[in-house]
Structure 1
Amino acid sequence: MLIWTFYNAYMPLILGDYIESRAIRGAIMGLDNLLAVLLIPVIGAWSDKIDTKIGNRLPFIVIGMPVAALFFILIPYGATTALWILLVIDIIFLLAMTIYRAPVIALMPDHTPPEKRSTANGVINLMGGIGAIIALFGLSHLYGIDRSYPFLIAGLLLFFSFILLYFTVDRKPPYVESLKEDTEEAKAATSFIKGIGKLKHQQFRGHLFILIAIFLYFIGYAGVEAQFTVYAVEHLRMDESAAGFTLGFFSLAFVIFAIPAGLLGSKMGKAPMMLTGLILLPLIFISIPSLPLLSNLFPGINQILLLQIVLFTGGIAWSFINVQAYPLVADLGGKNKIGYFTGLYYLFSMASSIVAPGLLGLFMDIISHPSLFYGAALSFFIAFYFLRKGSIIIRKNKTEPPSNTNNYSV
C-alpha cells in the first residue's frame, strides 16, 4: 500500500514531464488495474498448483518483489532520460507487482487458522492504511527534497519486506488452501466467467442498480485519487510534495473513522449510511474549486490548510460509503450466493479504476482542472440515485410473497 499510494499520487506528475494530456496520463495510470484483472487470477491459480523446494508461493515472490523494488527505484531516473525508457520501466514495475500480489495475499490464509482470518484481515487493512499515510505524509516530504529519495526508500523497504518474508514464510504452511477465491481479481474474473448476464433477469434488477452505483462512485473516487496532485500542482501551483501531503488528510480521516463508520452502519443500516456519504462527499468535492476564491476574499485564511481540512471531512464521508459497500453487496447474495456477489463487487469496482483516471483526465483536458471535482461529484450524485432505487426495489421484493417464477430472496 505504501508503494501503490505513492505511485498513484506522483506518477501522473512524473508523466507530466512528457505528456501534457491528463487523459493520456490517466489511461496509463489505469494500466495496473487492467493487468491485475487479466493476470492475477491466472498467477493465483498457478501458485496453487506449483510445488518447489521453497513451496508454492515463494517462487513468485522471489521473482516479483525484488524486480518491483528495483524498477520502482529506477522510475525517477528513467524520467530524466526519455519517455519510452520511463514507460518500459513502468510496465516492468507493474508486471512485477502483478506477479507477486496474489501469492503474497495467499500467505495469510496459508498461515492462519480459519477462525482467526477475519482478525488477521483486519490487521492487514490497518497496516495498509498505515502504509498509505506514511506514503503521503512521509515520502511526500522527501519528494520535495529530491525526487529520487522516496522511490529509493520505498524500493528498499519493499526489498527488505522480501528478505523478511523469505526467511519467515513456512515452506509447507499448515493451512494451505486454494487461492481461487482469495483475491479481489480472482473473484472478479470468476464472476464474469460465471455469467454477468444473470443480472439482466428481473429478480436481479435491484442488485444490478446497486452494482451500477458502486461502479459510478468508484469512478469519482479513483479519478480524484489519481488526478488530485495534477490539479494541485498545475492549477493551484502547489509544491509537488505539498500536494501529496495534502491528499494524505483524506486517507488519514478514512483510517480514523473506518471503525466508527462500521458501527454506525450496523446501527442505522448499510444503505442509509452509504446514501448519506453519497450526498456529503460530492458536496465537499464541489466546494474544493471555490476554496482559492474564499482565500482571496479573506487573506488571513491559509488556502492549503483550508484544503486539508476539507479533504479530511471528505475522508470521513468516504468512510460512510466504502466501509458499508462490500458487506451490503455480500448480503445481496444471501447464504448461497455470497461468493458470486463478492466477485461482482470487485468486478464493478475494479472496472471503474481502469477507466476513471483517463475519463476524469479527459474532463480536465476539455473543460478545466476544476472539472475533476465536478465530474467526480456528478458520478456520486448519479450513484445516489441508483443505490436508492436498487435498495427500494430489493426492499419491495422482500415484502412481496414469493412466486414460482421469482423465489429469490435476500
Structure 2
Amino acid sequence: MSNNKPFSYSKIFVIGGGFFALMLVWTFYNAYMPLILGDYIESKAIRGSIMGLDNLLAVLLIPIIGAWSDKIETRIGNRLPFLVVGMPIAAIFFILIPYGATISLWALIIVDIIFLFAMTIYRAPVISLMPDHTPIKKRSTANGIINFMGGVGAIAALFGLSKLYGVDKTYPFIVAGLILVLTFIILYFTIDRNPPYSSKTGDELDEALASKSFFHSLGKLKAPDFRGHLFILIAIFIYFIGYTGIEAQFTTYAVEYLKMDESAAGTTLGFFSLAFVLFAIPAGLLGSKLSKGGVMLIGLILLPLIFISIPFLPLIPFENQTLLLQGVLFLGGIAWSFINVQAYPLVADLGGKSRIGFFTGLYYLFSMASAIIAPGLLGLVMDWFTHPALFFGAAVSFFIAFYFLRKGTIMVKKSDLPA
C-alpha cells in the first residue's frame, strides 16, 4: 500500500539542504570552538569538558523534542513548528559567538548555550523529515543523499569557512548564519505539512506529555525483547566517543603538535569530510543492497586501523607530511561513510512509522551523549600521554563498538531490521 504513496527525490535533496546547513554550522563549530576557548584556557581536557557540557542540554532535550514532534498537531504540521523557532535563533547566536569571545569567557559561554539550545530545538525534527517522506526500502539510499548534503556542508565549513577564518574570525560565523536562515526559508515553503510516511500512534505514546511518553518508552529498552535494540544504540554511543573526540581535538593536535596554522588545520580535516561526501551515496546504495549492520561493521574495523596509523606518519620519509596526513584522512572518511550513512536508517527502522521521531531522539540521545564526555576524555588522554594519544583513544572506542553492534544486530530479528 505504501508503494502507491508519493516519493520525491527532489524533496529529499531539499530536506538534505537542512542537513547541509546543520553540518556547515556544526562542523565549523566543533573544529574551531576549542581554539576559541584556547584563548582563555590552556588545558585540552578542560576545553574539551566545556565542549562536552555544552552538549548536555542537547542530550536532555533532543529525544524529548523528537517524541514531541511525533505527537504535536498544528496548522503547519508536526515538524515545522520546531524549525520555525530553532533555526532563526540558532543563526543569530552563531553569528554572535566571535563577538562574545572578545568580551569575556562568560559572555562566550552564555552565547554558546543559547545557540546550542536553539540547535537542539530543531535538530531531531529536521532529521525526522527524511523518513517522514521516504518508504523503508529507500531509506538507506535517501540517507545517503542526506549525508551527501551534510558532507558538502562539512566540506564547505572546513575548506571554505576555514579560509574566511584566516581573513577575519567573524566572517565564517556571519556567512554560516545567513545560510542557515536561507535554508529555513526554503524548507518552510517546500516540505509537506502531512508527509506520506508519517503516522500518529494510538498506543503507549498517547500520554499527554512528550517527555513522559519518551521516558516511559525508554524504559522498554531494558526488556529482553529490546536488548538487541539497546546494544545497537550502545555501539553508536561508543563509536561516537572516538569520532566526536577526533572532530573536537584534531585542530588542537594539528595547531599545537604539528604547528599548522589554524586555517590549514581545518582544511586538512576537510579531506576526511571530502571522502565522506564522495562515498556517502555509494555507501547508502551498498547498505540498501546488503545489510546496514554488516556495512557498518566493515567500517568499524577499517577506521580505527587508519586512526592508529596517523601518529606514525612522521616516521615515513615523505617530503610533504601535510599531504600524507590529508591522504590518510581521506581514507578515514571512506570508512566513516560505511558507518555513519547506515546508522540512522538502522535506528529509524526500529521505530516503524509511528515512532520515527522517538527513535530519532534515541539516536541523538546516544550519539550526542558521547559529545558530553568525548572531547574532555580524549583531551585528558592528550594531556596525560601527549597529543598523538588522541588517535589511539579513538581507535579503542571503534573496536569496542564493533563488539556491541555485532551482538545487537544478531539479537534483533531480521523482520525488525529491513535491509
TM-score, structure 1 as length reference? 0.78
Q: Residue 236 in 1 paired to residue 258 in 2?
A: yes
Q: Supply the AA of the counterpart residue of 1:250.
A: F
What is the identity, as a one-letter code, of the residue corresponding to 2:371? S
Query: AA paired with 2:375?
Result: P
1:253 maps to amino acid = A
CA change 1:23–1:104 in 2 (3 A) is same
Find the partner of 2:108 among 62, 70, 86. 86
**Where does residue 321 of structure 1 map in the other structure?**
339
Instruction: Give the whole-Å Cα distance in 1 for the aligned partners of 2:361 and 2:122.
Output: 21
* Match of residue 29 from structure 1: 51
- Cα distance in 2 for partners of 1:120, 1:293 equals 42
Match of 2:238 in 1: 216
Question: Hey, what's the Cα distance between the residues in 2 that align with 1:141 and 1:77?
Answer: 19
1:141 matches 2:163:
yes
Q: Can you list the C-alpha shifts for 1:202-224, whole angstroms capped at 9, x where unaligned?
A: x5555544433322212111111
Question: Structure 1 stretches of 5 or more lacking a match?
Answer: 181-185, 399-407
SS at match of 1:238: coil
Secondary structure of the corresponding residue to residue 103 of structure 2: coil
Which ranges in structure 2 are unaligned for 5 or more consecutive residues?
1-22, 202-208
CA drift of 1:331 comes to 6.4
* Equivalent position amino acid for 2:260 in 1: M
Measured after TM superposition, the shift of residue 150 of structure 1 is 0.9
Q: Which residue in the other structure is 2:206 paired with? A: none
CA deviation after TM superposition for structure 1 residue 238, in Å: 0.9
Residues in 2 aligned to 1:113 and 1:391: alpha-carbon distance in whole angstroms: 23
Q: Is the 8 Å Cα contact of residues 75 and 86 (structure 1) preserved in structure 2?
A: yes
Going from structure 1 to structure 2, the CA distance change for 1:152 and 1:198 (only over 3 Å counts) comes to closer
Q: 2:275 aligns with which of 253, 278, 284?
A: 253
* Structure 1 residues 289 and 188: CA distance shift in structure 2, 3 A: farther
State the 1:318 CA deviation: 1.3
SS in 2 for 1:30: helix
Aligned partner (choices 346, 351, 366) of residue 384 of structure 2 = 366
Q: Identify which range, 360-369 or 269-278, moves more after superposition.
A: 269-278
Is the 8 Å Cα contact of residues 199 and 207 (structure 1) preserved in structure 2? no
User: What letter is aligned with 1:217?
Assistant: Y
SS at match of 2:159: helix
CA gap of 1:354–1:188, structure 2 versus 1, over 3 A, is farther
Write the letter of the residue equivalent to 2:222: L
* Match in the other structure for 2:369: 351
On the 8 A contact 1:36/1:98 being kept in 2, the answer is yes
Q: Which has the larger radius of gyration?
A: 1
RMSD: 4.0
8 Å CA contact retained: 2:64, 2:361: no
CA distance in structure 2 between the partners assigned to 1:161 and 1:124 by the alignment? 14
8 Å CA contact 2:200–2:354 kept in 1: the answer is no
What is the aligned partner in structure 2 of residue 14 from structure 1?
36
Q: Of 195, 199, 224, which aligns to 2:222?
A: 199
Q: Which residue of 2 aligns with 1:312?
A: 330
- The answer to whether residue 287 in structure 2 is matched with residue 283 in structure 1 is no
Inter-partner Cα distance in structure 2 for 1:33 and 1:189: 22
Where do 1:108-119 residues align within 5 Å?
Answer: none
Q: 1:57 to 1:362 in 2, by over 3 A?
A: same
SS of equivalent to 2:268: helix
Aligned residue among 130, 136, 142 for 2:152: 130
User: CA separation in 1, counterparts of 2:88 and 2:353?
Assistant: 41
* CA pair 349-302 structure 1, distance change in 2 beyond 3 A: same
Q: In percent, how many aligned pairs have the same letter?
A: 71
1:386 to 1:66, Cα distance in 2 relative to 1, 3 A: closer
Match of 1:150 among 172, 176, 192: 172
Secondary structure of 1:79's partner?
A: helix
TM-score by length of 2: 0.76
Decide which moves more: 99-108 or 256-265.
99-108
2:400 to 376, 379, 382: 382
- Further displaced range: 323-332 or 234-243: 323-332
Q: How many residue pairs align between the two structures?
A: 385
Q: Which residue of 2 aligns with 1:65?
A: 87
Q: Secondary structure at the match of 2:102?
A: coil
* Structure 1 letter corresponding to 2:243: Y
**In 2, Cα distance between equivalents of 1:49 and 1:97:** 19
Deviation at 1:380, TM superposition (A): 1.2
- Contact 2:308-2:395 at 8 Å conserved across structures: yes
Displacement of 1:281 in angstroms is 1.0
The structure-2 alpha-carbon separation of the partners of 1:193 and 1:247, relative to structure 1 and needing over 3 Å to count, comes to farther
1:76 counterpart SS class: helix
Whole-angstrom CA distance in 2 between matches of 1:60 and 1:271: 31
Check whether the contact 1:219–1:356 (CA below 8 A) recurs between aligned residues. yes
